[in-house]
Amino acid sequence: MRKTRSLKRTIIYTVLFLGTVLVLGYTTLLLDFGERGLDLAIEVRLDMEKRAYSEKYAQNPNTPLPSYTNFKTYLNYSSLPQDIRDTIPQEEMSSRQMTTYDPLDQDIIQFIYPWQRPDDKWVFFVFTVWLDEDTERVLQDLDVMFSLIGEVGLTVLTIIVVLILGLLHHISRAINELRDWANGLQLKTLDQQRRMFKYRELDQLADLIYNNTKRIAKSIEREQRFLEHASHELRTPIAILQNNLELLEYKGLDKDPRFAASFARMSTSVHNMHHLTTTLLWASRKETNPPQVSNVQLKTLIEELITENTYLLNNKSVQVNTMLSNEVITASRHVLRIILGNIIRNAFQHTHEGEISIHNTADTFVVFNTKTADHEESKTDSYGLGIMLIERLVTKMGWDIIFDNSEDFFSVTLQMDSTTMGTTADDSKT
């Protein structure tokens, strides 16, 4: 079974990832724009010198090349300093774009801006920055600015994370209120438990839960009334059958070899029907004490139920494997028979090929059956008395039942207490 993910963690990780990408992206862009801005400022300065010189040159071709303290102009590539020519080839100088010369063994940075005069000669405007104490202070200020950009980016990311965590905490608290409200719904007081939440979406979800719960409550109420009425209505014909069987037994019909087997089966069926109606009435009432309990041999009861339901495997390629332990449990035999019988019947009815495994311990009963691709209908919807009634019987007995509906198999595990309090009768008398 695939492990589900936490919605809260998914949102946190997604926001952290997107926030980190956003902050790192903008920080990188700011640093890059800062460096490009400095280069652009120098390039604009050199372009202004080029325009001033080109205007003077147009008026007087003998205009001397401009030269200042940190600015010098060279005519032709061959007149450039040897260090620059050794580092930057002539083809790169002819690209009409500013080039930077930053030697590692010298404390200077030179920006070279090429321009081709109308007489096809190349003029190179060179702006030199000496890395002295004054320049170092400027560079330190730039480093501080770049560091500030990184710190601001980290601060923004932290603020985003804190805000998102606060929002998630606020939303999760509202969701937890919805969960607690849903867990606390009681069928008997359902009309007084409706409430409103902080968010419209949670109100819609609460309405859905409330309406579904109300439908379930009505179904349970109808089922309970049906069980009560059916059990009461069945008591009269069952009593008539019992009286007639006792009359036939008084006349010796049970001793006649021709009818002895049929009479025994009829007696057993009527006896089981009587206890079934008694159990159904008990299941539909509020009282917690089960019908009369007895010491039940699990192995004998399970083998009996397997025999009764074997007809469901006719014309099927199904192998039944049992590993039964001859344990004794003190419980209502008739309640136990209904629960175990429905579990076994469900497995036999819905297994079309493969294997059915049945085993028990002192307090556990397990049925495991394989599923095929052509018959993958849900088993939990197919019990003769209904899954809700089975779960009700299990709950009233103080037991647990676990359904495992995986892709390849279906299993039911019944966890039983080894002792159930009540009036005990010998198993052979039931």
Segment holding 424, helix H or strand E: strand 424-425
CATH 3.30.565.10 residue ranges of the chain are 290-429
Per-residue confidence (pLDDT) for residue 421, from 0 to 100: 37
**CA 405, 407, 410 angle in degrees (round to 5)?**
35
The residue ranking higher by pLDDT, 250 or 376, is 250
The residue ranking higher by pLDDT, 33 or 329, is 329
Per-residue confidence (pLDDT) for residue 286, from 0 to 100: 58
Per-residue confidence (pLDDT) for residue 134, from 0 to 100: 61
Per-residue confidence (pLDDT) for residue 290, from 0 to 100: 59
- Does 187 have pLDDT greater than 80? no
- Does 379 have pLDDT greater than 50? no
245 C-beta neighbours (distance < 10 Å), count: 17
Fold category of 290-429 in CATH: Heat Shock Protein 90 (3.30.565)
Fold category of 200-281 in CATH: Helix Hairpins (1.10.287)
Q: Which of 108-112, 306-310, 407-411 has the highest mean pLDDT?
A: 306-310
The residue ranking higher by pLDDT, 245 or 422, is 245
Tell me how far CA of residue 258 lies from CA of 97, 251, 377, in angstroms. Answer: 119, 14, 44
Section 379-401 average pLDDT: 68
How would you classify the pairing of strands 353-360 and 317-323?
parallel
Segment holding 224, helix H or strand E: helix 200-250
| 322 pLDDT tier (thresholds 50, 70, 90) | very high
The residue ranking higher by pLDDT, 195 or 341, is 341
- Does 247 have pLDDT greater than 70? yes
Per-residue confidence (pLDDT) for residue 427, from 0 to 100: 43
| 381 pLDDT tier (thresholds 50, 70, 90) | very low
- Does 411 have pLDDT greater than 50? yes
Which of 187-196, 234-243, 328-337, 341-350 has the weakest average pLDDT? 187-196
Section 271-300 average pLDDT: 73
CA dihedral 9, 10, 16, 21 (to 10 degrees): 160
Q: Which residue has the tokens 């890395």?
A: 131
Q: Which residue has the tokens 């990832």?
A: 17
**What residue type is assigned to position 270 of the chain?**
V
Per-residue confidence (pLDDT) for residue 138, from 0 to 100: 62
| 374 pLDDT tier (thresholds 50, 70, 90) | low
**What residue type is assigned to position 103 of the chain?**
P
- Does 426 have pLDDT greater than 50? no
Joined together, the tokens standing for residue 381 give 């919807």
Per-residue confidence (pLDDT) for residue 4, from 0 to 100: 67
| 1 pLDDT tier (thresholds 50, 70, 90) | very low
What is the residue-wise DSSP string for 253-306? Answer: GGG-TTTHHHHHHHHHHHHHHHHHHHHHHHHTSS----S-EEEEEHHHHHHHHH
Alpha-helical runs (H) found in 287-425: 298-309, 333-350, 387-396
Per-residue confidence (pLDDT) for residue 287, from 0 to 100: 53
Rounded to an integer, what distance in angstroms lies between the CA atom of residue 112 and that of residue 98? Answer: 5
Segment holding 135, helix H or strand E: helix 133-183
| 320 pLDDT tier (thresholds 50, 70, 90) | very high
Per-residue confidence (pLDDT) for residue 253, from 0 to 100: 76
Per-residue confidence (pLDDT) for residue 366, from 0 to 100: 94
In three-state secondary structure terms, 330 is: strand
CB 388 within 8 A of CB 280: no
The residue ranking higher by pLDDT, 95 or 59, is 59
- Does 101 have pLDDT greater than 90? no
Write the pLDDT tens digit of every residue in 269-278. Answer: 777 777 677 7
Per-residue confidence (pLDDT) for residue 358, from 0 to 100: 94
Q: What percent of the chain has pLDDT over 90?
A: 7
Section 33-59 average pLDDT: 81
Residue 413, beta-bridge partner list: 366, 402
Per-residue confidence (pLDDT) for residue 135, from 0 to 100: 59
Write the pLDDT tens digit of every residue in 189-232. Answer: 777 777 787 788 888 888 888 888 888 888 877 877 776 777 67
The residue ranking higher by pLDDT, 379 or 148, is 148
Q: Please state, rounded to an integer, the average pLDDT across all residues of the chain.
A: 78
CATH 1.10.287 residue ranges of the chain are 200-281
207 C-beta neighbours (distance < 10 Å), count: 12
35 C-beta neighbours (distance < 10 Å), count: 12
Exposed e or buried b for every residue in 37-58, given b needs 16+ CB within 10 A? eeeeebbeebeebbeebeeebe
Section 245-272 average pLDDT: 80
Per-residue confidence (pLDDT) for residue 66, from 0 to 100: 86
Write the pLDDT tens digit of every residue in 65-77. Answer: 888 877 888 888 8
- Does 8 have pLDDT greater than 50? yes
